[in-house]
Amino acid sequence: MTEVHGHCDERFNAVRDAFQANFDNGLEDGASVAIAVEGELVVDLWGGVADRATGAPWEEDTLCCLWSSTKTMAALCLLTLADRGLVDLDAPVATYWPEFAANGKDGVLVRHVMSHTAGLPGWGRPISLDDLYDVRSAAALLADDAPWWEPGTAAGYHAVTQGFLLGELVRRVTGDSLGTFFRTNLAEPLGADFHIGTGPEHDHRIATIIPPTKALGGRSSAGSVGERALNNPVITADVGNTVDYRRIELPASNGHGNARSMAQVQSIVSGGGSVGGRSFLSEDAVAQIFREQWVGPDLVQEIDTRLGIGFGLNGPEVPVSANPRACFWGGWGGSVVINDLDARTTFAYGMNRMGDGLDTDFRAISLVFAWQASAMAA
């Protein structure tokens, strides 16, 4: 039987039990789960193996590629800049990035990019994986593209492109890359072991990804917007095990961390802007997340969704909490972050064996149910 390590407040023993059950039922290789209440880690658990081939254990400080859960970190960077008066969420992207206005994108607002309604879920010309590694050139290609729909009138998951768009915005405004801005303004002050662009000093503790059976766009309907967006280029999860992929900064998709570090950073949101007595965002800045930008079908994921600024919103489309003020995002294969502002709680889960979906699967859902039941019983 896989041994689960870490600590768990007795109020949340059901979460430990559910985490253990995922291993006992053969659903996990290595994984971590964390819950922070008022910024304090009341659950911090990990277990299993970080590398199936060698049997290396998942340790307290093991890191893993968390795919699109990284988007929650990028969103905080933009909200921070907005809070400081350096970015207006309602301003055109071209205000800060003039070249972006090309081909009818002068009406694309910053909040459109943050809510997947900008009309740029993919590139308008064929590109390769190597093209993505030249981050600024890939962003420039998007700046030259025409939107696929009138911005703000539809939503389609900007699964890969959002990172290039937000990354270039941060660079234009601050002169720093988004990964650098995130590190100096959020991760380091919080002591959070989360990285967007991961240096060689961390390679020895990065878990090996076990890919799903399909590429990123493998579930898309033939001829759909999703197929066009997610298969250019075709991305298989094996790329997450390469050094080249770790080194570049992809704020939409290649953050490396664990459940603990996700919960530490995202506690800024669940704490209303503050963690441990330190203010990172004003309450007004956090409230921006809940400005509803879209309710309805997502043209890429082909599901109904409810989107705020930078996060998915709790609702009948994706019910993540019994409390109304909750927001979330998930990563390819199963990782997830949920911020419940009414409970001042952040839940986070990450793993190295990927499921076949673009986001959360049964493993995380079982943990969320256990957390919610524990909170209601407390």
**Which are the catalytic amino acids?**
68
At which residue do the structure tokens 């503050």 appear? 274
Cα distance between residue 135 and residue 23, in whole Å = 38
Give me the numbers of helices (H) and strands (E) for the chain, helices first please: 13, 15
Burial 342-352 (b: 16+ CB within 10 A, else e): ebbbbbbbbbb
Structure tokens at 121: 């879920």
Cα distance between residue 44 and residue 342, in whole Å = 21
Cβ pair 148, 225 in contact under 8 A: yes
Which residues, including other chains, have CB under 8 Å from residue 26's CB and lie 6 or more apart? none
Beta-bridged to residue 37, according to DSSP, are 40, 345
Cα distance between residue 35 and residue 372, in whole Å = 11
Residue type, 230: L
For 174, other C-beta atoms within 10 Å of its C-beta total 17
Cβ pair 29, 52 in contact under 8 A: yes
- The candidate with the shortest Cα–Cα distance to 310, out of 335, 297, 293, is 293
